Amino acid sequence: MEKIVKNVSVMCFHDELCQVYNALMTAYSLLKEGSRVTMFFGSRGVNALHKDKVNKLVCMPDQPKEEGEAVMKRMEEMNLPTVEDLLFMLYREGARLLACPLNVPLFAMTKKDFVDGVEVADPATYYKEVVIKADMNLTF
């Protein structure tokens, strides 16, 4: 079977668990198929990279609490990897994990707040070297 290698940019602008999880699973699936993956976390998405917040993300906060809790319970029953596990797997298997240089200070974060492997994106080169050169730009 032929592998199709792509340069993939995945952007995550949310800290809602389902959105973050979809972004991470998509990135991981593409990485496992041989693509070069760069993930960019902007806006509230930077919260998913914070080592004290990563395991506190909630599902569907705009819905009744019971609905979000039911989805989280089903995810746990399915024995899915956590967001923190997925971030670690992506990092260890070669994906680049980038945080938005504007949102990091906006949310009062520093590099020491991040899980392993996260870099702050360079605004002078990020769009030119990642987004424009990507074969696919996916946004969550």
pLDDT higher than threshold 80 for residue 58: yes
User: 3-state secondary structure string, 91-124?
Assistant: HHCCCEEEECCCHHHHCCCCHHHECCCEEECCCC
pLDDT digits (tens, 9 = 90+) for 22-40: 999 999 999 999 999 999 9
Whole-number CA gyration radius for the chain: 15
Task: Provide mean pLDDT across the span 129-136.
Answer: 96
pLDDT higher than threshold 80 for residue 84: yes
Cα(25)–Cα(54) distance, integer angstroms: 15
The total domain count for the chain is 1
41 in a domain, yes or no? yes
CATH of the domain at 77: 3.40.1260.10
**Domain interval for residue 131:** 7-139
Beta strands 136-139 and 118-120: pairing type? unpaired
Task: Provide mean pLDDT across the span 43-70.
Answer: 92
What are φ and ψ of residue 12, in 5° steps? -120, 120
Task: Provide mean pLDDT across the span 110-117.
Answer: 96
58 in a domain, yes or no? yes
1 in a domain, yes or no? no
Q: What is the DSSP secondary-structure string of 28-53?
A: HHHHHTT-EEEEEE-GGGGGGGBTTT
pLDDT higher than threshold 90 for residue 5: no
